[in-house]
Amino acid sequence: MKKTGFFNIINYSLITLFSLFCALPLALLFMVSLTDEKSIIKNGYQLLPEQFSLEAYKMIFTGGHDIFNSYLVTIFVTVAGTLIAVMITAMAAYTLANKNVSHRNTLSLFFFFTMVFNGGIVPWYIICVKLGLRNNILALIIPSLLFNPFNLFLVRNYMNGIPDSLRESALIDGAGDIRIAFQIYLPLSTPVLAAVSLFYGLAYWNNWWNAIMLVEKKNLYPLQYFLLKLKSELTMLTDLQGSSAVLSTITMPTESLKMATAIITIGPIILLYPYLQRYFVKGLMIGSIKG
Amino acid sequence: MEMKTNLKKLPNSKSGGKGSFIKDIIRNPLSYLLILPAVIYTLIFGYMTLPYMVIAFQKFNFRTGIFNSAWVGFKNFEFFFKSASAATVTWNTVRLNTLFIFFVTVFSVSLAILLNEIKNKWFVKITQSTFLFPHFISWVIASYIIYTLFSYNYGIVNRILGFFSIEPISWYMTPKPWTPILVGMRVWQATGMSVVIYLAAIVGIDGSLYEAAKIDGANRWHQIKHITLPLVMPTVAILTLLSIGKIMYGDFGMFWAIIGDNGILYPTVDVIDTYVFRALRLSGDPSQAMAVGLFQATIGFILVYTTNKIVKKSFSEGALF
């Protein structure tokens, strides 16, 4: 009995320790965003600041036009992209799960092949340029993110579990494949579609690859790219020269403002987290158990 | 791992035989219509990339295109392999990925085993959510976190060093420490997700094994050592092998967000993917970039193929294809 108690104490402490390792860096970011500027200059970044201030958030909400523009870009791209991506995926998954389609395995292979072998980023970039996907909002929606074979297989595996007799009886009642897909299979696949929407949505929300490759116009910067630019300008100024003398000569967003900007971009993720986590774990399980 | 048996589990053909593709399309026109967008997308962004790989042997020019650019043989490869960067970026990619795989696996397997021993459901739920959270955060945000820790002026680490009267270190100008920093960030970001997978594998272990062990007088440590660990090993092996298959690919998002084009740090953190990106977008030489990309893809494909073969041979269920 005594031994179990000892084991438990160690066990709980180790897990708590790792939880802190996961949570503290984000807590730090959050606390710095709430720190008074003078406090930062005096004490550096702190987990428990000497003086709190909401100034950074006030500044963002009153004068941060650039970031709001980026917010709008990201929201639009995420919503539009996810909707189209889920649609494309679900429709294709129905066909791969349709036992009447005798070449469905060849089709699966067709999608799978590009997952293991493709030309990489250089041809991808050339193709995007040729399609005119540069410096427009479509460049943020279409390349890379609009369809992912992994998600396709996830949905297909789930749909394979729907009894075939449903489709057959609908066929007898005169419904076509499109109607069967949209009115029977899609509604029955809600759990996996929710998980897949989450995967797509998150990929869009956190994406800056498309922006760094294909977008130069500032008004098209999605949030993450906006943040990246903001940071690289600041590290260049302060850290590469390794002195604080430069700080005073150049006007730039204040320290807390920078962190506050980072925090408001993860705001939606924090708010949606309970939902995100549930469907994420579910999606992962569907993939590994049924796959 | 998730996509493993996609292609295998289905029956290979219908009892009636396959018939030609065209017949199949005529029989199921609407089904083929439904899959058409995905097919077109894959053709454009997947298969169309393949012919462009030949530009590695050309001096590619956007205006003249793939058919009218001058052929230069292996010059682009020569340029890369003769440069000092070739060895650096290849070694960094393999070295950092190996460290990532090792530490993430060790942490996530240990934590999954520990979590499995805890009976308090509420505690497990909260901690697991905390582990997983960093997975949802982009590398750009992660780079902000690193900045709050390692910034020269205000960074916490330098302040702590100051507390012990150690001179502050200009982290962004010192290459060496970035290996452990990146490994730490990788563990921070990726462990939660692996814990979910390993925990699922552990929960799936037959409970009667533990019952029997208890009757034989095994304590919890014995149970972990002789039941949980051996039974979770196949999953560990499969996931590790599959990651080894991808060892030639650096995580561009991670490296670029954290390091960017800070050349001072290249000796320890420049990877193939960031090198290719710079060749393509900063020095604007697609052929040069493609040569390196082709080198990466070739070794990468051999590795994927080999590791998959090993997985298939040893664990019939985990293979990718």
- What does the pLDDT read at residue A246? 45
A273 in contact with chain B, both atoms CB, cutoff 8 A: yes
Q: How far is B292 from chain A (nearest CA, A)?
A: 10
A105 contacts B12? CB cut-off 8 A: yes
Compute the average pLDDT of residues B133-150. 93
Compute the average pLDDT of residues A194-199. 91
pLDDT tens digit sequence for A243-286: 444 444 444 446 788 888 889 888 888 888 888 888 888 877 77
B-facing residues of A in 1-30 (CB < 8 A) are 3-4, 7-8, 11-12, 14-16, 18-19, 21-23, 25-26, 28-29
Instruction: Count other Cβ atoms within 10 Å, centred on residue A289.
Output: 11
Q: Flag whether pLDDT at A230 surpasses 50.
A: yes
A52 in contact with chain B, both atoms CB, cutoff 8 A: no
A29 contacts B136? CB cut-off 8 A: no
Short-list B166, B165, B146, CA closest to B155: B146
Q: How far apart are CA B256 and CA B261, in angstroms?
A: 7
> What is the helix (H) or strand (E) element at residue A250, kind and residue range?
none
Of A28, A88, A100, the CB nearest to B38: A88
- What does the pLDDT read at residue B6? 41
- What does the pLDDT read at residue A17? 96
- A192 contacts in chain B (CB < 8 Å): none
pLDDT tens digit sequence for B37-92: 999 999 999 999 999 999 999 988 888 888 888 899 899 999 999 988 899 999 99
B137 contacts A178? CB cut-off 8 A: no
* Residue whose structure tokens are 């067709």: A110
Q: Flag whether pLDDT at B15 surpasses 70.
A: no
Q: Flag whether pLDDT at B25 surpasses 70.
A: yes
pLDDT tens digit sequence for B108-126: 999 999 999 898 989 999 9
Share of chain A above pLDDT 90, in %: 53
- What does the pLDDT read at residue B8? 39
Of B123, B170, B188, the CB nearest to A239: B170
Of A15, A47, A125, the CB nearest to B111: A15
Instruction: Report phi then psi at A208, rounded to 5.
Output: -140, 0
Q: Where are the domains of chain B?
A: 21-71, 89-314
- A276 contacts in chain B (CB < 8 Å): 136
Average pLDDT, chain A: 86
- What does the pLDDT read at residue A97? 94
Q: Where are the domains of chain A?
A: 65-252
Q: How far apart are CA B27 and CA A210, in angstroms?
A: 39
- Of the pLDDT bands very low, low, confident and very high (cuts 50, 70, 90), residue A206 is very high
Superfamily of domain B89-314: MetI-like (1.10.3720.10)
Pair A272, A198: CB distance under 8 Å:
no
- Domain A65-252 falls under CATH 1.10.3720.10: yes
Greatest Cα pair distance, chain A, in angstroms, is 80
B219 contacts A108? CB cut-off 8 A: no
- A262 contacts in chain B (CB < 8 Å): 140-141, 144
Give the pair of three-digit tokens for residue B118.
């805890």
Average pLDDT, chain B: 88
